[in-house]
């Protein structure tokens, strides 16, 4: 058994170039199989095995890992127990499980979900998956660093005492606000605020701005002109823990608003397919529910799942899988004609189509057109039990929401219809029925 031992446990130090991989697996045979695969291929992996969720949690406190590989079921839990706990990319490799579990795992944050087969084909594609997962994580970290760098640009610092009197400003503050240090020190900081904020009680404004970051408020310069700012505040304490001052970091975002808007747009786009991502879908759905309730109009939702897509990936590889996703989303997006109709990547191989002001009959017709158009792409799928080409299953619902209708309700209805379509053989459209 390999429990907690590394793949190079020879007494020598592990090369810095080796990739630390934490493997949660309690089957000794599967541990041996994975270790032998790494050794035979001379892969630069340092495998460290653990047998339980609790052991994994202890291990990641002591050591950093690039990747976590886990079986779905383990001694004291499942893969779901670690997905919210770790920040490393997680690859689930299991001998059991369903498409529903796989889809849920991907939605919960797993990078990929592989099925163990007797011929060990899953091992053949594992190195490429690990490579892509690390690349994805590195790009995510670079984006985070960029975000932090943008956040710290053009910072204006001023410190106030607990009575809201300004006791210190830096040069950037003077340049932005137009005050000299002699003019501003000793003044109440409320003079910097504009609009509704200025009308609030100073103590209440102080409490609110300390409790959370204040964004898109307006400050005033010495000449009375207003400008948008974001403001962060933190308490300064003395050695005894007494609160003595408040550090304020404000940023003039006049020039950055266009950049911030562009970055925000990118955060709502799926990087692979170029369509709206789950975050964007949630935002659009909330907005459309409110609009439909306000106007007493139908709102339709179509949930789409690519039939047996895991088998497609296992057969043709993940690069081909990515190209398949791009073709399908392109065809779905091209099919939607009316203003306001949107397709979003809901998770993995699952997509969501929103159709404003569309009753169930029309929504079903749209879904059937989508199904046919995807099949007519004639993307080969030799391992599909449904058709020789890639196909999709669709679940449809439509409702006139009220002010109390939640997004979870309409999603649940479409999901149930989608589940029925898959249960009845896939490559079909099913309508939700109460």
Provide the phi-psi class of 68: left if phi over 0, else alpha when psi is between -120 and 50, else beta: beta
Residue found under tokens 């006791």: 167
Angle between helices 309-316 and 121-151 (to 10 degrees): 100
For 55-59, the CB contacts below 8 A with 24+ separation are: 55/4, 55/24, 56/22, 56/24, 56/82, 57/82, 57/85, 59/4, 59/22
Q: Which of 349, 350, 368, 413 is catalytic?
A: 349
Residue 55: active-site member: no
The answer to whether 305 and 418 are in contact (CB under 8 A) is yes
18, 8 contact by CB (below 8 A): yes
Question: Which of 313, 348, 345 lies closest to 329, judged by CA?
Answer: 345
SS3 letters for 168-200?
EECHHHHHHHCCCHHHHCCCEHHHHECCHHHHC
Among 23, 20, 56, 47, residue whose Cα is nearest residue 134: 20
Q: Which residues are catalytic?
A: 349
């Amino acid at each position: 058994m390999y429990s907690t031992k590394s793949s190079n446990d020879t007494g020598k130090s592990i090369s810095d170039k080796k990739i630390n991989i934490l493997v949660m697996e309690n089957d000794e045979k599967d541990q041996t199989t994975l270790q032998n695969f790494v050794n035979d291929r001379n892969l630069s992996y340092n495998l460290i095995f653990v047998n339980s969720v609790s052991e994994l949690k202890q291990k990641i406190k002591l050591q950093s890992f690039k990747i976590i590989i886990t079986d779905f079921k383990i001694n004291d839990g499942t893969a779901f127990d670690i997905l919210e706990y770790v920040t490393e990319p997680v690859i689930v490799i299991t001998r059991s499980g369903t498409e529903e579990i796989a889809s849920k795992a991907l939605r919960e944050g797993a990078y990929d979900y592989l099925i163990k087969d007797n011929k060990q084909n899953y091992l053949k594609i594992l190195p490429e998956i690990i490579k892509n997962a690390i690349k994805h994580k590195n790009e995510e970290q670079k984006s985070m660093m960029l975000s932090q760098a943008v956040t710290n640009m053009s910072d204006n610092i001023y410190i106030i005492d607990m009575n809201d009197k300004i006791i210190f400003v830096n040069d950037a503050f003077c340049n932005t606000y137009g005050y000299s240090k002699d003019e501003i020190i000793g003044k109440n900081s409320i003079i910097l605020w504009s609009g509704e904020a200025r009308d609030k009680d100073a103590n209440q404004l102080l409490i609110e701005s300390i409790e959370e970051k204040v964004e898109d408020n307006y400050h005033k310069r010495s000449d009375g002109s207003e400008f948008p700012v974001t403001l962060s505040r933190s308490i300064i304490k003395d050695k005894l823990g007494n609160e003595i001052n408040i550090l304020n970091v404000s940023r003039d975002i006049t020039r950055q608003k266009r950049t911030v808007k562009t970055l925000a747009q990118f955060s709502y786009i799926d990087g692979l397919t170029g369509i709206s991502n789950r975050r964007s879908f949630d935002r659009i759905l909330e907005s459309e529910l409110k609009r439909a309730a306000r106007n007493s109009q139908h709102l339709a939702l179509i949930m789409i799942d690519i039939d047996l897509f895991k088998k497609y990936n296992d057969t043709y590889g993940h690069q081909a899988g990515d190209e398949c996703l791009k073709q399908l989303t392109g065809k779905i997006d091209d099919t939607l004609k009316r203003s306001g109709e949107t397709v979003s990547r809901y998770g993995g191989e699952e997509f969501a189509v929103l159709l404003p002001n569309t009753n169930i009959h029309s929504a079903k017709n749209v879904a059937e057109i989508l199904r046919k158009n995807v099949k007519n792409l004639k993307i080969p799928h030799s391992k599909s039990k449904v058709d020789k080409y890639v196909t999709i299953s669709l679940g449809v619902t439509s409702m006139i929401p009220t002010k109390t209708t939640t997004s979870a309700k309409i999603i649940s209805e479409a999901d149930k219809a989608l589940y029925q379509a898959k249960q009845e053989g896939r490559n079909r459209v099913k309508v939700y029925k109460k």
